[in-house]
Structure 1
Amino acid sequence: MKVGVIGLGAMGLGAALNLLKADHEVIGVEPRAAGRDAFATEGGAAVASVAELPGELEAVVVFVVNAAQAEAVLFGEGGIAPRLPRGAVVLLCTTVSPAAAKAIARWLEEYGVLMLDSPVSGGANGAMAGTLTVIASGTEAAFAAAKPVLDAIAKRICNLGPEPGAGSTVKMVNQLLAGIHLAAMGEAFALGVRAGADPKVLFDVISESAGASWMFLDRGPRLLAGDDAPRSAINIFVKDLGIVLDEARALTFPLPLAAAAHQIFLAVAAGGAGDRDDAFTIRFWERLAGIPLPGARKEG
């Protein structure tokens, strides 16, 4: 299968590599030379802009940052959508609002292109291992066309029915929980440090206790090591929790915990660390109360 992967960041690179391992013909798109080089090192081919993608692709996997970027690579200048053959499928793996997913599906339909609303969960490690959970919705034809891609990148595929937007709705709820858990982890470690507890002891004990979460277990070791090289950046949750709160506002639905967590991510981003790893929400308390960070911080 001839597949284009747009975005060779933490998630897209892993997906592209697993597609390559599954013997698909894969062309990546990544403006950063480092991302293209990382793919090329493993035998992949990559270009710097979507305008350089060939049009005869059977599937396009979109791993960009937000809805605006997704719309640009699909429909903007040099966008791939008008050049795809009828019956090709776009897997929209970017976390976007349900309304944006529905709109993109509708616009693709005008070109005769199928879309799977298919945000993912599992992090960079899951992407590299080919064990992502894909939270997908779309027509039977879209699922069928996307199956070879899904088989290569995912361990679990959640079929949420035929309507675009359903996948993005469930991913939105996931991101609400993930963001709150990350903010809570930072608060918990900050309190422990201020009270004199050893951060490693905190992690070891809580990992085996009721207070643990998937985010705590996954991100805690990075925090302890001072390893803030971004796999998923603080700015991602500024965006994702913004989607959550915008949708809640449209539904006249209160989300006090999500709103508080969003403010913590915003504060860390405002302090200049928005591009660092999202394990470091503790920087809010570092700057507020002057506590030391666990581990020796690494800047690369």
Structure 2
Amino acid sequence: MKTIAFAGLGAMGRPMARNLLKAGFTVRGCDVNPAGLADLEAAGGISCASAAQAFAGADAIVLMVVNAAQAEAVLFTDDALAAAPAHAVICLMATCPPQQVQKIAGRVAATGRRFVDSPVSGGVVGAEAASLTIMAAAPADVFEAARPVLEAMGSRTLHVGDKPGQGATVKTVNQLLCGVHIAVAAEALSLAEKIGVDTRTMLGILVGTSAGSWMLKDRGPRMLESDPEVTSAVDIFVKDLGIVLEAGRETKAALPMTALAFQLFNSTSGRGAGAADDSQVIRAYRALNGTA
């Protein structure tokens, strides 16, 4: 593995591509956003005008796009994947519904190329630090072939299964807990706010007790800011918790906490804050409590 095609140079994709460059890979990028391509070029990568141009000669194709629809568009519009070598490995690293991942994997397999279902957790911070957790599903030999590429972007690369969709399923469960944790942390701080307790004092107490969590420690301080830096947007959890609920419907699994957390994120987005940091789900509580 020497040459990587990277599609999706957004908030997470850009630092992931830079980390591949730092690891010694040649990176050929494609994105509809010129700023992403400029960032890649500044880091020493190669800007390509199309997916097909990026795929030509690539040993691996990394897809860090928004959703499954974008992944399909990048791979199959104008038969772009045909430009990739027959030995290329496609690594789908976006969060997508398991059934859609299986569909994409089937289309890739029909071309004779290999596929790794490899969603990530860790957000922008993890992408920048190359400390992402990568949940990869693929046959053992395909996983081993892709491992050097994945390990350049993450500190935990886990082989969670040998079939497409298994990585996406693990990520779905992960996102259930992440979204619910953020929503519950916001509920706790909004209660303190409503009662009149100093929220910074309250947060300082909570993170040091058994009630604390990683999400409370990370998102809590941003919940107390009016317009914090965005590391993961509200709309990301509207999408991801929607995927969790879809999985629940398909398997007839009861997910009442997820459903409530989804409504809180969705209502925050509906009031125009979809692009705000996901910590701002606390605005939903403020609207309910009349403290907005």
Answer whether TM exceeds 0.5 for this pair: yes
Which residue number in structure 1 is paired with residue 11 of structure 2?
A: 10
Q: In the alignment, residue 261 of structure 2 is paired with which amino acid?
A: A
Q: In the alignment, residue 194 of structure 2 is paired with which amino acid?
A: R
User: How far apart in 2 are the matches of 1:232 and 1:125?
Assistant: 10
Which residue number in structure 2 is paired with residue 271 of structure 1?
A: 271
1:97-148 Cα deviation digits (max 9, x unpaired): 1111111111101111111110011111111111111111101232122122
Q: In the alignment, residue 175 of structure 1 is paired with which amino acid?
A: Q
User: How far apart in 2 are the matches of 1:152 and 1:288?
Assistant: 44
Which residue number in structure 1 is paired with residue 69 of structure 2?
A: 68
Contact 1:32 1:48 in 2 (8 A): no
Contact 2:5 2:27 in 1 (8 A): yes
1:100-119 aligned at under 5 Å gives the runs 100-119=100-119
User: How far apart in 2 are the matches of 1:176 and 1:134?
Assistant: 17
User: How far apart in 2 are the matches of 1:123 and 1:115?
Assistant: 23
Which residue number in structure 2 is paired with residue 234 of structure 1?
A: 234
SS in 2 for 1:80: helix
Using the size of structure 1 for normalisation, the TM-score is 0.92
| 5+ long unaligned stretches in structure 1 | 293-300
1:208-287 aligned at under 5 Å gives the runs 208-287=208-287
1:2-151 aligned at under 5 Å gives the runs 2-47=3-48, 49-77=50-78, 80-151=80-151
Distance 1:94-1:88 versus aligned 2 partners, 3 A rule: same
In the TM superposition, residue 199 of structure 1 has moved relative to its aligned partner by 2.0
Contact 2:92 2:118 in 1 (8 A): yes
How many matched pairs? 291
In the TM superposition, residue 227 of structure 1 has moved relative to its aligned partner by 4.1
Contact 1:87 1:113 in 2 (8 A): yes
Which residue number in structure 2 is paired with residue 295 of structure 1?
A: none
SS in 2 for 1:10: coil
User: How far apart in 2 are the matches of 1:253 and 1:268?
Assistant: 26
Contact 2:6 2:54 in 1 (8 A): no
Contact 1:55 1:80 in 2 (8 A): no
User: How far apart in 1 are the matches of 2:48 and 2:289?
Assistant: 46
In the TM superposition, residue 69 of structure 1 has moved relative to its aligned partner by 0.9
Contact 1:160 1:167 in 2 (8 A): yes
User: How far apart in 1 are the matches of 2:190 and 2:274?
Assistant: 19
SS in 1 for 2:161: coil
Q: In the alignment, residue 276 of structure 1 is paired with which amino acid?
A: A
In the TM superposition, residue 54 of structure 1 has moved relative to its aligned partner by 4.2
User: How far apart in 2 are the matches of 1:34 and 1:149?
Assistant: 24
Contact 2:55 2:61 in 1 (8 A): no
CA root-mean-square deviation? 1.6
Contact 1:88 1:145 in 2 (8 A): no
| 5+ long unaligned stretches in structure 2 | none
Q: In the alignment, residue 22 of structure 1 is paired with which amino acid?
A: A
In the TM superposition, residue 195 of structure 1 has moved relative to its aligned partner by 1.1
1:7-37 Cα deviation digits (max 9, x unpaired): 1122211210100001110122222233223
User: How far apart in 1 are the matches of 2:34 and 2:260?
Assistant: 37
User: How far apart in 1 are the matches of 2:236 and 2:165?
Assistant: 20
User: How far apart in 1 are the matches of 2:290 and 2:35?
Assistant: 35
Contact 1:91 1:116 in 2 (8 A): yes
In the TM superposition, residue 48 of structure 1 has moved relative to its aligned partner by 5.6
Contact 1:17 1:42 in 2 (8 A): yes
SS in 2 for 1:26: strand
In the TM superposition, residue 285 of structure 1 has moved relative to its aligned partner by 1.9
Using the size of structure 2 for normalisation, the TM-score is 0.94
